[in-house]
Structure 1
Amino acid sequence: MAENFDIVVVGGGPGGYVAAIRASQLGMKTALVERENLGGICLNWGCIPTKALLRASEINHLLHSLDQYGFAADNIRFDFAKVIKRSRGVAGQLSGGVKHLMKKNKVTVFDGHGKLAGPGKVSVSKDGKPVADIAAKHIILATGARARVIPGMEPDGKLIWTYREAMTPTAMPKSLIVVGSGAIGSEFASFYLNMGAQLTLVEVMDRILPVEDAEISAFVAKSFTKQGMKLLTGARVQGVRKGADNVTAIIEAGGKVQEITADRLISAVGIVGNVEDIGLEGTKVKVDRTHVVTDAFGNTGEPGVYAIGDLTGPPWLAHKASHEAIICVEAIAGKHPHAMDVLNIPGCTYCRPQVASVGLTEARAKELGHEVRVGRFPFIGNGKAIAMGEPEGLVKTVFDAKTGELLGAHMVGPEVTEMIQGYGIARTLESTEAELMHTVFPHPTVSETMHESVLDAYGRVIHI
């Protein structure tokens, strides 16, 4: 006989486990089904462990830049196995934390693969064997996504890597090719470059970080090139040829074909939703290009079935999944939450230099018919950035010229991923340039660049 719950969540990533906690907080009997690790890809194989790796690469960069701070050190080296071990330890610690949260919030966790088994029913199996049958009026699908595989460039776990192999290599490669310059590709490219590898970054679009504002993309491209990275944009991988312990990519760019050989190749060309084998057949759930179609509150076409997170549309970000989870559960509970505005979701890329943005790019704002006022402020004009030895950066703000609405904000430089939330709050509160100008920013902080960028948009910049 099926065990009865108010809500069953299939998938324990940052969307799923947050949905389970919020449902429990609202007094609903809740079950969570997870087939692998609590915390999902983000916590175990994405957001968190990659930041541990990037922290190590930042330290390696600083150790090789000691002279500018008046220090000297000999025989600087690292133990790559320990770098990887620390990253995995961080992921393990946080996954255990999610397990504790499930217990604290009285969420029943089922270890196995969840699948719709008819109206209001979920079957759970493990290694092909039945584990449990669950019944619930509300079923939230949060099964996430996986790396997209390009024909002819299929990952083999040895020479061609996805993000998983890139995070757990047995040895430090001397050279790499990274295909795809979105957040994942740029972060891995930055990590391995700063750990000492020769790096080639390949992007099919005409610029790296193509979803970012064009000025920010150009800034990062210049920085990457200065650091020694080779960039190929407007480039297509026509094929790969594997050697005994290396891989050669045949790349067409600018009408010319070249062959580049490296120890390893990382494929970072997007994601596809995990829509297979979750029981969607025979339901009214609509799938568009591997992602489940929902309304603003997570409803699918099938009554009582909802979807959140990377299983649904862009942006594919952990914090978007978590907020979707809150909205979905509160709507189920009749709390009338506000629908999510995706333009208020910050995006962050933790390469060196860091990139962060929220809202519209300048180009997109103009495409939508806005007359814009644009402000810019370089980090070289900021005292704290200079004192830190990190004067490379830029803040760009885009306003509607008629209303003063903050349409978008775009940042590149040290710790901008920590600062972007300020502009995120401003957009949520529907602030105009007037409120931002009258906000007092502490001195000396890098965040003062945000204030100066706003002032610059209105001809009032002080320090440049």
Structure 2
Amino acid sequence: MSGNAYDVIIIGSGPGGYVTAIRSAQLGFKTAIVEREHMGGICLNWGCIPTKALLRSAEIYHYMQHGKDYGLSAEGVSFDAAAVVKRSRGVSGQLNGGIGFLMKKNKVDIIWGEAKLTKPGEIAVGPSSKDAMQPQHPTPKGVKGHGSYSAKHIIVATGAKPRVIPGLEPDKENIWTYFEAMVPEKMPKSLIVMGSGAIGIEFASFYKTMGADVTVVEMMPTIMPVEDPEISAIAKKQMEKQGIKFVMEAKVSKVVKGKGQVTATIETKDGKAQEITAEKLISAVGVVGNIENLGLEALGIKTDRGCIVTDEFSRTNVPGIYAIGDVAGPPMLAHKAEHEGVICIEKISGLDAHPMKRDQIPGCTYCNPQVASVGLTEQKAKDAGYEVRVGRFPFMGNGKAIALGEPEGLVKTVFDNKTGQLLGAHMVGAEVTELIQGFVVAMGLETTEEELMHTCFPHPTLSEMMKESVLDAYGRALNM
């Protein structure tokens, strides 16, 4: 095999790409990964990880401001915006460097540049296009350069970018995407957030905690529309108590830019319009797959609504070419990309791989309060024909939550009344993004309500509410 010939080439080094590359190498394939911008992709550099660093700074700032609630006192509490951003970028940089180490450890070659499919089994790598962001971290040593490369299996893992609405194009000054929102030179005193999905709500939560006047505009009747409406309503109520304003069933129809401000015209479902002026507007109306300049059209690879069409094992309609992660469609989550990539490469290797169970992919939103869920909502379970049993347990009934000073929240479980199958779990409150995995494992093991009831949960922990919610579904709650 020549120096430019591989068993597997992966285009994109985000969570899906780099994890797939590692698993590919573990399975004995000669593997290369192509990256045009930064190792770790959007997640490590501009998404999942640095946003959590920002939110952690906001969380600690919030606790410092409310020290008296815990019998503590702190005077002159303030923040340094530049230092907050610097910490976030430092966390990103540390993990970014770690990806390079993992590639070297697993003997995965890095090819630096932008890849284009020229024919099945072959790619050309050239300079990154103008729309690619320049790497903020040093280019790893020992990477391969531009040229032609071949592989029997080529996996596209190019991720996604912010969706742009015509007439509301981001300009990096007045109208931001998550890129600009993550590295503010100073904290805006006011902003409008367009969209209440995970990205929009997390930034709304962050900037409100840091002192901004925040208005969220959402087209749907509930915030975080993919979540169970009961959970969304609790989260919205808590955010409103914090001072976040919501305009529901509305859209931003026009934006007029001024010096250091934007004026947005917001139209509601009933046809009424209002104008809101703020320093910045964050556009968080979803993302679309990075499918441009890949050569998909020339090879006849099918796409649909900005994403590559694949089967349950990530195979496209062209043999030898696969797609995973955001570019292969929703749910656009890093953990979905990783799991999808492992399934894809294990299927290629001949292992007995099983298709991903998409109804068991958890979702997490790291706002304040946190929201997490897996499986069917109560309404979707009913729509699917199930006769359901629903259990609820409030944080107010949990000793650990009260001791933490976090008594607001709810754990909700949805069961099939006929079989006891756990159909879904939905949570809002402190640390629920860590708790949800317990229900994910339970669903994966096809656990019934009886087995969950017979499980001994540790005390005092927030996790006890998980069991209590199950008990409540069957009229057996002990602490409520």
| Structure 2: stretches of 5+ with no match in the other structure | 131-144
Counterpart pick for 2:146 among 107, 123, 131: 131
1:140 and 2:141 aligned:
no
Select the residue among 363, 370, 374 that pairs with 1:354: 370
TM-score, scaled to structure 2: 0.95
Quick check: 1:324 aligned with 2:325?
no
Partner Cα separation in structure 2 for residue 73 and residue 350 of structure 1: 26
CA distance in 1, matches of 2:436, 2:56: 19
Query: Is 1:409 matched with 2:410?
Result: no
Instruction: Please state if 1:429 is matched with 2:430.
Output: no
Is 1:368 aligned with 2:380?
A: no
Tell me if the contact between 1:2 and 1:135 (Cα under 8 Å) persists in the aligned partners: no
State the identity as a percent: 63
TM-fit CA distance, 1:255? 3.1
The alignment status of 1:191 with 2:206, answered yes or no, reads yes
- Structure 1 residue 427, shift from structure 2 partner: 0.5
Which of 260, 266, 279 pairs up with 1:251?
A: 266
Give CA-to-partner distance per residue, 1:250-307, whole Å, 9 cap, x none: 0012432100000100000001111110111222321000011101111000000000
Look up the match of 1:14.
Answer: 15
Unaligned runs of 5+ in 1: none
Equivalent of residue 380 in structure 1, options 393, 396, 402: 396
Cα distance in structure 1, aligned partners of 2:296 and 2:71: 62
Question: What one-letter code is carried by the residue in structure 2 that aligns with 1:171?
Answer: K
Corresponding residue for 1:395? 411
| Aligned match of 1:111 | 112
- Partner of 1:6, secondary structure, is strand
Partners of 1:363 and 1:351 in 2: how far apart? Answer: 24
Moved more, 94-103 or 59-68: 59-68
3-state secondary structure, aligned to 1:316: coil
- Alpha-carbon separation, structure 1, partners of 2:301 and 2:23: 24
Q: How many Å separate the matches in 2 of 1:148 and 1:6?
A: 34
Query: Take 2:266 and 2:326, find their aligned partners in 1: how far apart are those partners?
Result: 30
Structure 1 residue 2 displacement after superposition: 7.3
Q: Is 1:200 aligned to residue 201 of structure 2?
A: no
* Maintained 8 Å contact 1:174/1:197: yes
Instruction: Supply the distance in 2 between the matched residues of 1:192 and 1:392 (Cα, whole angstroms).
Output: 21
Question: How many angstroms apart in 1 are the aligned matches of 2:327 and 2:244?
Answer: 33
Once the two structures are superposed, the pairs formed by residues 1-400 of structure 1 within 5 Å of their partners are 3-127=4-128, 131-253=146-268, 254-400=270-416
Which secondary structure does the structure 1 equivalent of 2:296 belong to? coil
Match of 2:299, SS state, is coil
CA contact (8 A) 1:2 1:132 kept: no
Q: Deviations over 1:53-111 (max 9, x none)?
A: 00011011111111111111111111110000000010010000000000000000001
Say if 1:234 and 1:127 are closer, same or farther in 2 by CA, change over 3 A: closer
Secondary structure at 2:184 match in 1: coil
Runs of 4+ in 1 over 2 A off after TM superposition: 127-130
Counterpart position of 1:440: 456
Amino acid of the residue matched to residue 363 of structure 1? Q
**Secondary structure of 2:330 counterpart:** coil
Contact conserved, 1:5 with 1:136, CA < 8 A, in 2? yes
- Measured in 2, the distance between the counterparts of 1:259 and 1:436 equals 51
* RMSD of aligned residue pairs (Cα, Å): 1.1
Q: Distance in 1 between matches of 2:79 and 2:128?
A: 40
Contact map agreement 1:161 1:264 (CA 8 A) in 2: yes
CA distance in 1, matches of 2:241, 2:182: 25
| Match of residue 140 from structure 2 | none
Displacement after TM superposition at 1:314 (Å): 1.1
> SS state of the match for residue 218, structure 1?
helix
Q: Cα deviation per residue 1:353-372 (whole Å; 9 max; x = unaligned)?
A: 00000000001000000000
- Preserved CA contact (<8 Å) 2:37 2:128: no
> In the aligned structure 1, how far is the partner of 2:295 from the partner of 2:33?
17
Alpha-carbon deviations, 1:157-177, whole Å to 9, x = none? 011000000001111100010
| Secondary structure of residue in 1 paired with 2:192 | strand
Q: In structure 2, give the amino acid aligned to 1:58.
A: E
CA-CA distance at 1:152 after TM superposition: 1.3
Task: Tell me: CA distance 1:289–1:2, structure 2 relative to 1, closer, same or farther (3 Å).
Answer: farther
- Contact 1:143/1:274 (CA < 8 Å) preserved in 2? yes
Question: Are the aligned partners of 1:6 and 1:136 in contact in 2 as well (CA < 8 Å)?
Answer: yes
> 1:182·1:208 contact (CA, 8 Å) conserved in 2?
yes
User: In structure 2, what is the Cα distance between the partners aligned to 1:397 and 1:286?
Assistant: 38
Q: Which amino acid aligns with 1:61?
A: H
Q: Return the alpha-carbon distance in structure 2 between the equivalents of residues 357 and 231 of structure 1.
A: 22
